[in-house]
Chains A and B, each alone.
Chain A
Amino acid sequence: DAGVTQSPTHLIKTRGQQVTLRCSPKSGHDTVSWYQQALGQGPQFIFQYYEEEERQRGNFPDRFSGHQFPNYSSELNVNALLLGDSALYLCASSLQGANNQPQHFGDGTRLSIL
């Protein structure tokens, strides 16, 4: 039973560029949440996708956008990259409505902005 998979594992970009990160949820899960974990901090919620729509959003600018596909996989897009966007980006999957169950996390994509 495959868990949450994310790609790529590492990425280096320069300021002003755009990046796309990908996530495949755990088998049986239909909801994907994205988190940003800056160095030395706890993960911060970016947004959540369910039924191919953004359902909730954290305090992140519109430069951060996403998409969910019919197979429940998801993408996180970040435009006009800033140095402060350097972080570990984590994808978590869950089953909608099962809020008493834990979210399952992937190993993340480490994004470095030069």
Chain B
Amino acid sequence: AQSVAQPEDQVNVAEGNPLTVKCTYSVSGNPYLFWYVQYPNRGLQFLLKYITGDNLVKGSYGFEAEFNKSQTSFHLKKPSALVSDSALYFCAVRDRTTDKLIFGTGTRLQVFP
């Protein structure tokens, strides 16, 4: 069965420091991987995706993610965190034969001034 794990319920980081939000996945074959962000009382906003090619993917708002096939991970990163980055982050996988997204449980990112 396909699944996504986000092992940290919350990540705290000081403004200006680098941040990492972890994600691991389990899926047969090669996956399509996505990161979404959710602000309070809002839907999900797309940040970035991995389809194929370069393992380091760059996305919106300065975020990037590193795909590691051997570790089945797709960690979200940002070199310098902003207070405005504080939100709920979801990792998701989509099977290449379907259009269904499978989400992790989410990680709340708190960036402190």
Contacts and interface: CB of A to CB of B under 8 A. Distances in A.
B100 A58 contact: yes
A78 interface: no
Given A42-B105, A45-B101, A102 B49 contact: yes
Given A90-B44, A105-B44, 9 more contacts: A35-B101, A40-B106, A42-B90, A43-B44, A43-B101, A48-B100, A92-B44, A92-B101, A103-B99
Interface in A30-60: 31, 33, 35, 40-45, 48, 55-56, 58
Interface residues of B, number: 25
Interface residues on A, range: 20 to 34
A43 B38 CA distance: 11
A108 interface: yes
B44 A31 contact: no
A45 B99 CA distance: 10
Contacts of A104: 46
A106 B46 CA distance: 11
B24 to A, nearest CB: 14
Contacts of B100: 33, 45, 48, 56, 58
Given A56-B98, A100-B32, A100-B51, A42 B103 contact: yes
B96 interface: yes
A99 B43 contact: no
Interface string A56-77: 1010000000000000000000
B42 A107 contact: yes
30 contacts: A4-B43, A40-B106, A41-B105, A42-B4, A42-B104, A42-B105, A43-B44, A43-B101, A45-B102, A55-B99, A56-B99, A56-B100, A58-B100, A90-B44, A92-B101, A94-B99, A96-B99, A99-B96, A100-B32, A102-B34, A102-B49, A103-B46, A103-B99, A103-B101, A104-B46, A106-B43, A107-B41, A107-B42, A108-B42, A110-B41
